[in-house]
Amino acid sequence: MQKWSNASIFGREGLWDLLIENGSFKKIVKSGTSGFDDCETIDLNGKLVCAPFIEPHIHLDTTLTAGQPRWNESGTLFEGIQCWSERKDSLTKEDVKERAKKALSWQMANGIGAVRTHVDTTDPSLVALEALLEVKAEMKELLDLQIVAFPQEGLISYPNGLELVEEALKMGADVVGGIPHFEFTREDGVQSIREIFKLAMKYDKPIDIHCDEIDDEQSRHVEVVARETIMNDYQGRVTASHTTAMGSYNDAYTYKLMRVLRLAELNFVANPLVNIHLQGRFDTYPKRRGLTRVKELDQNGLNVCFGHDDIMDPWYPIGNGNMLQVLHMGLHASQLMGYSDIANSLRFVTDNSAKALNLSNYGITEGNPANFIVLNGEDGYHALRLQAEVLYSVRNGKVIAQTKPRETHVFLPEQKNITFM
């Protein structure tokens, strides 16, 4: 038996004791009422405990390749795709595994417990997929990894694109992906969506589509995704990633669209760091923010979460796997900066992401696996404001990552400790 005492738990009032046995939460009780005083105890002194962060959207096959073979100087999505197309020629299994494991170790250190990665299947060798399937098996004790078969250069437009996605599913990919806005024509994009649903139903897989990642207000594939979801009774199993074009839709069309999206029960992933960097590149001024309508989707009862998308690759030249950076940018760009918005915002990188990934047994609940993180803050508001360190990351009751709190001093001239509180 192990006890983590005096924890502030996200979403609950007061202080709590977490009793862990055999890797699961045995009891969660008000502090001082649990007994078991003779067991191993870690006193958290009011630090914030929440379920592990979830990464709902990243590209581990491309991670840590920024500047290879050249930098994306225009900062556009399209030059990024061209840079990656050139880098793919030199991919090896060892190369992909080394970079992916390094990025995942950064994410683990930052409290991430589950990851959904998209893997480019527009490569006849499928070497990146093979590599990441091995990474998934080798790191299964440390985190949960879902793999999306993603046709980066098109399902219809790329030679044998459809066949390569199907082969990826046969090899073990978990999710069917797509990129309808990048196909040659809108008609090709619509056809690609219908083919995605056929594959998903054939192999009983969820769907996660790169959808309308462009500032073009006429890019309206998300309505087709919603329609196919409804017609095929696939509610709850479909995620629309990016949907940045929605930020450019007129309000009358968006009002009508929201009804269809609600009926489809779509999940949405916004990627604030990358979206605000890549989009608006063809605007002079006014310059669009390049983010989907996070606030409006949330207010309409749709599930919205935030992801990284990229870490140091052709589409995003910086990053370190810290979900609080993602959340910080997401709240600013979405104008979710009221106190209650901030205080409750951890849901965008925890519970909402878990729902999008269809994770089971997630959360701080008696009987669930003892997976949680301890943040160096007293509540959600201060965790976000301070960009709090993840002091502990715990999986099945075992600490898998630990960070010591930083110390800052100023000299006035006497030394004074600064806590920013």
Q: In the predicted model, is pLDDT for residue 287 greater than 80? A: yes
Mean pLDDT over all residues of the chain? 97
For range 235-261, the mean pLDDT: 98
pLDDT for the residue 36: 74
pLDDT band for position 311 (cuts 50, 70, 90): very high
pLDDT value at residue 38: 80
Percent of the chain with pLDDT over 70: 100
Q: How much is the pLDDT for 407?
A: 93
Is pLDDT above 80 for 420? yes
Specify the pLDDT at position 39.
87
- 167-185 pLDDT per residue, tens: 999 999 999 999 999 999 9
Q: Which tens digits make up the pLDDT trace of 85-100?
A: 999 999 999 999 999 9
Predicted local distance difference test score (pLDDT) of residue 389: 97
pLDDT at 191 over 80: yes
Q: What confidence score (pLDDT) does residue 168 get?
A: 98
Query: Residues 134-156: what's their mean pLDDT?
Result: 97
Is residue 34 scored above 80 in pLDDT?
Answer: no
Residue 37 confidence (pLDDT) above 80? no
* Average pLDDT of span 27-48: 90
Work out the average pLDDT over 72-88.
94
pLDDT at residue 166 is higher than 90: yes
Say whether pLDDT at 33 is over 90: no
Domains and CATH numbers, the chain: 2-51+363-408 (2.30.40.10), 53-356 (3.20.20.140)
pLDDT at 1: 87
Provide the pLDDT for residue 380.
Answer: 98
The 3-state secondary structure of the chain, one letter per residue: CEEEEEEEECCCCCEEEEEEECCEEEEEEECCCCCCCCCEEEECCCCEEECCEEEEEECCCCCCCCCCCCCCCCCCHHHHHHHHHHHHHHCCHHHHHHHHHHHHHHHHHCCEEEEEEEEECCCCCCHHHHHHHHHHHHCCCCCEEEEEEECCCCCCCCCCHHHHHHHHHHHCCCEEEECHHHCCCHHHHHHHHHHHHHHHHHHCCCEEEEECCCCCCCCCHHHHHHHHHHHCCCCCCEEEEECHHHHHCCHHHHHHHHHHHHHHCCEEEECHHHHHHHCCCCCCCCCCCCCCCHHHHHHCCCEEEECCECCCECCECCCCCCHHHHHHHHHHHCCCCCHHHHHCHHHHHCHHHHHHCCCCCCCCCCCCECCEEEECCCCHHHHHHCCCCEEEEEECCEEEEECCCCCEEEECCCEEEECCC
% of the chain residues with pLDDT over 90: 96
pLDDT, residue 347, reads: 98
Enumerate the active-site residues.
Answer: 213
